Amino acid sequence: MPTPLNQRHNANAIRILAMDAVQKANSGHPGAPMGMADIAEVVWREFLSHNPKNPKWANRDRFVLSNGHGSMLLYALLHLSGYDLTIDDIKNFRQLHAKTAGHPEYGYVDGIETTTGPLGQGIANAVGFALAEKTLAGQFNKPDNAIIDHHTYCFLGDGCLMEGVSHEACSLAGTLGLGKLIVYYDDNGISIDGEVEGWFSDDTAKRFESYHWQVLCVDGHDDEQIREATVQAKAQTDKPTLIICKTVIGMGSPNKQGKEASHGSPLGADEIVLTRATLGWDNANAFEISDEIYKAWNACDKGECLENDWNAQFADYETKYPNEADELKRRLSGQLPQDFSAKADDFIKACQTKAESIATRKASQNTIAAFAPLLPEILGGSADLAGSNLTLWHGAKSVQAYTDGNYVHYGVREFGMTAIANGVALHGGFIPYTATFLMFMEYARNALRMSSLMKQRVINVYTHDSIGLGEDGPTHQPVEQIASLRQTPNHFTWRPCDAVETAVAWKMALYTTNAPTSLILSRQNLDHQTRTDEQVALIEKGAYVLAKEQSDLQAIIIATGSEVALAIQAHKILTEQGVGVRVVSMPCAEIFVKQDRDYIQSVLPSHVRHRVAVEASIVDYWYKFVGLDGKVIGMTTFGESAPAKDLFNHFGITTDKVVQAVQSLI
């Protein structure tokens, strides 16, 4: 028989901390932590391999709380296990500058592996962790030494399973056979609106079986069943496992357990008194945990032993395989090879010398082919469009076909792909890039926002960047997307105008360790632009003078991507007319505005008020650079279906229009 509720002191410590913290904050979700406390106690005390004194230990198990609104569950686990999270931090739950934010936030406290805010993305991140573990193991493990060998544990709830991103990610996880992914489903039947059976009647077990998962069902309050299921999950190495845990939300609250009342609101002072009695909790004061329970929970000594054993294993690995060991350490540190910058610069110079007029999507493929052999940590992938966005390269090996692969065929799963890539980046040892058409960035938008929020080095390759893609029409022609990306905090958007700027954009993305980068690339061929070596070096600053004025400076044309060629043609015409005009190529506005004032003034002198911006996307963004008195040539409507040349003429994005705009200003 299961242990009576009032005797489960270790699990009840979670319930006490959760309900007390939510009550003190007068905000939060006590129900999920109280309902999942028994599952968490078994997983964390008996199975999770981790070291609270070194939360970044490379071979630790990863734990993801996908139903992140139940954040007090994770905070209680970290506090009780011995992480640097004090009882005062618990008391400060949901307050300004607290480590214990409303949802777990990566970087706020050690032990939080990912930011799980919007439901469904946590499980997708967990798939990324498991993918990274399996791929890194395939690249570094030896027959006599499995140096990379850990599991990913994930808790999730009904909301995660209703969100579409979980379907995308879990379907792929089954296809990839991620056997070290173990997921616990908090099947409590309750969401904010009440009993979910009125809007969520899926047969979850059959769904996951169809995804090629192992599915187990247990009583989520029976320690022995949870234990046996976890052992069975670890034994299944070819499939991920879903353990469906039938639980009672708010377990222990006599009047609110099993009800939506415990989901997203404090229990109330009177109910907390009754709950303490129901749990057999001797301490009447809030936040009081006995030394005996702290001792039972503390994982520091066990964690240190686990890590020491692995360190000894790594020492043996280092002796037998010194080159692989050095490479693994470098990759886990996140540092690029020392000689990479020089080699990248050599490639950039070669692009300038070659002077090819090609589509920037093709230039990107050439760059990947040049850089990827130098960077085995690159783990690429595309949402079923590799032949169009040109992200496959000669040395690419599918992870579906090779244990040491470096390329993921994500299928038509833009949101899942991007959220999985976030997990790959968080795991360490890889620099992930993903790819799709720019228009389909909209499907991935929230995951892209999360990589920006978490400061992760994820590279997004977005091709078919404007009305220039032509006949597919307005549904596929991005108009407002580039502006949306540029306005996302901690995110860098590059729209290069030729092969040289594309190569520089890739280099900068690879060296940007604390933010994601989006590369906005053309379908159509673009003219090569002639530059000096000095101008090539200035591309890294985000904007530079590409064509100088031939007389006193009267006007400035700012352009990106395919429209730089229009600006250069306009510059030639205006110069012949005696107009002092310069062209500024601005492939990355976010980097440019971070430059020092002197450089910004050297490119865009404030006294020159006559400015024209040209870009085949929404015009509104560019007024920050041209001012309200300037002019912007671009899109104010959606596109149309027609050949690209006809569309540029129809929407007035032409050399003549640029010339006329400058003339009208001066």
Q: Are 93 and 30 in contact (CB under 8 A)?
A: no
Please check if 432 is assigned to a binding site.
no
3-state secondary structure of 53: coil
Give residue 243's region: left, alpha or beta (phi > 0; psi -120 to 50): beta
Please check if 633 is assigned to a binding site.
no
**Annotated catalytic residue, options 163, 260, 307, 414:** 414
Please check if 440 is assigned to a binding site.
yes
Please check if 582 is assigned to a binding site.
no
- What stretches of 512-592 show up as alpha helix (H) in DSSP? 533-538, 563-576, 589-592
Please check if 118 is assigned to a binding site.
yes
* DSSP for 487-513, written as a single string: TSTT-EEE--SSHHHHHHHHHHHHH-T
**Tokens standing for residue 81:** 């296990």
The CA–CA distances, whole Å, from 345 to 231, 502, 533 equal 51, 12, 11
Please check if 361 is assigned to a binding site.
yes
Please check if 79 is assigned to a binding site.
no
Please check if 276 is assigned to a binding site.
no
In terms of Cα–Cα distance, which of 522, 574, 521 is closest to 547?
574
Please check if 388 is assigned to a binding site.
yes
Please check if 240 is assigned to a binding site.
no
Please check if 45 is assigned to a binding site.
no
Would you call 197 a catalytic residue per the annotation? no
Cα 633–Cα 635–Cα 638 angle in degrees, nearest 5: 165
Please check if 190 is assigned to a binding site.
yes
3-state secondary structure of 217: strand
Instruction: Supply the angle between the helices 340-354 and 360-371 in degrees, to the nearest 10.
Output: 140
What end-to-end distance do the CA atoms of the chain give, in Å?
87
Q: What share of the chain is helix, strand, coil (3-state, %, to 5)?
A: 45, 15, 40
Please check if 457 is assigned to a binding site.
no
Which residues 6+ apart lie within 8 Å of 613 measured at CB?
A: 557, 558, 559, 619, 622, 625, 626, 630, 631, 632, 633, 634
Measured from the Cβ of residue 388, the count of other Cβ atoms closer than 10 Å reads: 16
Please check if 449 is assigned to a binding site.
no
Q: Are 408 and 380 in contact (CB under 8 A)?
A: yes
Q: In what order do the strands lie in the sheet with 492-494?
A: 407-409, 378-382, 431-437, 459-463, 517-520, 492-494
Q: State residue 441 phi and psi, 5-degree precision.
A: -55, -30
Please check if 188 is assigned to a binding site.
yes
- The annotated binding site for substrate is made up of 29, 263, 361, 388, 464, 472, 476, 523
- The annotated binding site for thiamine diphosphate is made up of 69, 117-119, 159, 188, 263, 440
- The annotated binding site is made up of 29, 69, 117-119, 158-159, 188, 190, 263, 361, 388, 440, 464, 472, 476, 523
Active site residues: 414
- The annotated binding site for Mg(2+) is made up of 158, 188, 190
